[in-house]
Amino acid sequence: MSDRNIRLKVRVWRQNGPNDKGRFENHELAEISQGISFLEMLDLLNRQLTLAGIEPVAFDSDCREGICGSCSMIINGMAHGPQKGTTACQLHMRHFEDGATITIEPWRAKAFPVIKDLVVDRAAFDRIQQAGGYISVRTGSAPDANAIPIGKEAADAAFDAAACIGCGACVAACPNASAMLFVSAKISQFAHLPQGQPERWRRVQRMVAQMDEEKFGACTNVGECEAACPKEISVRNIALLNRDYLLARFMKEPV
């Protein structure tokens, strides 16, 4: 069945900065092809606003291929929209009915202050990763692929954790605005591999300390983070993080 054109009512959040109160604006769009992506729909909205002399809606995007994680927004109350395992840029308008009202908001978390409209500052994630430091492996020429044998189960677990794109959907979906799924994914991708062992205990303590410093909420095992994650990162990583953190404190490893 070919895609058809639909009419939409868009209720979009407008905010000039972190100290601005913010408000919703209502706009109508006609002749929107169901074959275009959600961000292309926003491009058309901005074109309409520009032609009307209205400032366009600010939103983040880069790859538009579900890789960079920058297209972060709440769509009809759901992080990245209604499609499971999908970023906002991968969401297509065929998932919306003719005449539908679409409400679009930025991530709602104290640690992600609004820069403008739908754009939030996710630099807290960068600081958490930086707190983890580096891995002490020899640099230089590329090592042979089989130089360090790694079991398939461990390699698969590390790969699955490394799929995290740091979009922040887990924080936005969590009622506590917890960053535990993100932090656990970044810790797990090294914890499963031999290259990540030398700094393993120091890494988990530093990253958890930085997470707390950034004022993210506590994890209460609601599970909304896993449900909202576009890369379907498992909450099993949180269990590994908790175990490693307790072991590191028990062994009194230096931070």
**Sequence-ordered list of residues with C-beta below 8 angstroms from that of 102, at least 6 positions apart, any chain:** 8, 9, 10, 11, 75, 76, 96
Q: Are 174 and 222 in contact (CB under 8 A)?
A: yes
* Residues 128, 131, 137, 138, CA torsion sign: positive
Pick the CATH number of 5-105 from 3.55.40.20, 3.90.1530.10, 3.10.20.30, 3.40.50.1100: 3.10.20.30
Where does the chain hold its CATH 1.10.1060.10 domain(s)? 122-250
Where does the chain hold its CATH 3.10.20.30 domain(s)? 5-105
pLDDT of residue 163: 97
Homologous superfamily of the 122-250 domain (CATH): Alpha-helical ferredoxin (1.10.1060.10)
pLDDT in tens, 99-149: 999 999 999 999 999 999 999 999 999 999 999 998 887 767 776 767 778
pLDDT of residue 253: 67
Q: What's the predicted TM-score (pTM) here?
A: 0.93
